[in-house]
Amino acid sequence: MEYLYAQDNLSLGQMAARWVAREILACPNLVLGLPTGSTPIGMYQHLTRLAQEGIISFAQARTFNLDEYVGLTADHPQSYAFFMREHFWSKVDLPKANGDIPRGDVSDLAAECRRYDDAIQSVGGIEVQILGLGPNGHIGFNEPSHNMEIHTHVVDLTAETIQANTRFFPGSEAVPRQAITMGVGSIMRAQRILLLVSGESKRDILTKTLYGPVSTAVPASILQLHTDLTVLTDIKI
Ligand code: GLP
């Protein structure tokens, strides 16, 4: 495990963008797994700037997002598809067809899960995966549970996650109760993983993630078993 320390959230965004920029410069047709949430916003801002200045290009890249809420259309302002359009897709030269995200608004969610795994597999799997960390240790929307799912699947969100994500909605009752998420298998099969963690409130869960027992109670703890994990954080532990 490599541990990179950022002074604050601002420098975390810059460092994350430089890390990703190095990867894309080395491999222009990179298959990149992408997160949403507050933590990676700075990374997207800096990546956008680097792309607009012509320093990097996503013209040959493929991106796959980790997750999406069930029941929200891509036009819903709280959908992750909307987030990606606003923060990244509409601002860089990634061809529209090359940015994929699970659809949470389809009637056959099982078919959508299969479609997503097939799409990831058809390009040889995720090469570089960027992750955030949920307050309860989730990665994507792989919630604490008695088991871990390998494939893309539909998940019931925990009360803690609904509570944590209420800040983006008019109230807790408006937060979707389910999500569709890439499984832990696709994440762990990535050749390299960058875990972004920002803010004092994540100190305990980051400590458990990196130094606690590997357990389904803290899904991110499985990252301890990955052979090429970089942790970029502004929390000193
Ligand atoms: C959501 C996403 C996760 C993300 C997490 C942390 O629940 N499903 O993929 O990592 O939030 O978000 P934040 O960075 O806002 O703390």
Distance 112 CA to ligand 1 centre (A): 22
Q: Atom 10 (ligand 1): residue with closest C-alpha? A: 132
Distance 35 CA to ligand 1 centre (A): 8
**Ligand 1 pocket: which of 133, 232, 235 to mutate (most atoms <8 Å of CB)?**
133
**Nearest CA among 93, 1, 80, 116 for reference residue 47:** 93
**Nearest CA among 39, 40, 20, 31 for reference residue 60:** 31
Q: Are 152 and 87 in contact (CB under 8 A)?
A: no
Catalytic residue list contains 138: yes
pLDDT tens digits for range 129-161: 999 999 999 999 999 999 999 999 999 999 999
**Residue 237 scores a pLDDT above 90:** no
Q: Atom 7 (ligand 1): residue with closest C-alpha? A: 134
pLDDT tens digits for range 26-83: 999 999 999 999 999 999 999 999 999 999 999 999 999 999 999 999 999 999 999 9
Q: Are 231 and 168 in contact (CB under 8 A)?
A: no
pLDDT tens digits for range 72-128: 999 999 999 999 999 999 999 999 999 999 999 999 999 999 999 999 999 999 999
pTM of the model as a whole: 0.97
pLDDT tens digits for range 189-235: 999 999 999 999 999 999 999 999 999 999 999 999 999 999 999 99
Count CB atoms within 10 A of the CB of residue 132.
20
Catalytic residue list contains 67: yes
